[in-house]
Copies of this chain bind each other. A is one copy, B any other.
Amino acid sequence: MTISVGESIRNGVDTAALFATLDAVKSAPEAARFQFRAHNEWMSGTHNRGTIHDYFGVGMERTHERTFTFDADHPAVLVGRDNGPTPVEYVLHALAACLTAGLANIAAARGVTLTEVRSTVTGDIDLNGLLGLNPEVRNGYQQITVRFTVKGDASPERLRELIEQSRSRSAVYDIITNGVPVAIEVDTP
């Protein structure tokens, strides 16, 4: 390697590896077919536990370095025991995480050094929908708003452009704004 760390690493992103990955996928597009997975086990009431470990990508079965587990529950005010966030809060977390990761990558690729990225995602929901009390109210969020605070060695306009580019390439933003077909299969042994 003749590229020094100072040249290759920016924002903690190995840009040489990033560009090498892009080149590799260009020459073998099927490597980019991934299947991600989450496993879930019901505990009690609204409390359940998710496990994330295995996935498929770059032509083979893979696993994360660790097994990640995440409890979900409802708070007491929604007749749960607050053993974890609600499922809808995980959706907000996913959106912030996706936009932030994309921003760091895109800024690094374009030579912008970031010093701080914070965000708060809010989701407004009227539970009259999912409680079945008002057929005119949807079950899910009516509006989601992301508020970023970003600092780095670029003009405010440039930083906004980088976030816009992250939005335009975000998997979770696409999922949430455009929807995805969901099939449900049930085994009752």
The residues of A with any CB-CB pair to B shorter than 8 Å are 11-14, 17-18, 21-22, 25-26, 29, 32-48, 50, 52, 55, 57-58, 62, 64-66, 68, 70, 72-75, 77-80, 82, 84-105, 108, 114, 116-134, 138-151, 156, 159-160, 163, 167, 169-189
Expressed in whole angstroms, the minimum distance between the Cβ of A179 and any Cβ of chain B is 4
Interface pair A58/B37, CB less than 8 Å apart: no
Interface pair A172/B88, CB less than 8 Å apart: yes
Q: Which residue of B lies closest to A26 (CB)?
A: B133
Q: How far is the CA of A153 from the CA of B12 in the complex (A)?
A: 53
Chain B residues, Cβ within 8 Å of A93: 38, 40, 50, 52, 70, 72, 90
Interface pair B174/A180, CB less than 8 Å apart: no
Interface pair B147/A187, CB less than 8 Å apart: yes
Interface pair A124/B179, CB less than 8 Å apart: no
Taking A96-B48, A130-B169 as contacts, is the C-beta distance between A147 and B185 under 8 angstroms?
A: yes
Expressed in whole angstroms, the minimum distance between the Cβ of A58 and any Cβ of chain B is 6
Interface pair A146/B25, CB less than 8 Å apart: no
Interchain CB contact (< 8 A) of A13 among B37, B46, B175, B186? B46
Interface pair B96/A38, CB less than 8 Å apart: yes
Closest 9 CB pairs of A and B: A12-B44, A12-B45, A140-B174, A42-B117, A72-B97, A40-B96, A87-B98, A38-B92, A156-B188
Given A13-B46, A94-B94, 6 more A-B residue pairs with CB atoms under 8 Å apart are: A18-B79, A25-B127, A34-B125, A40-B97, A48-B117, A145-B182
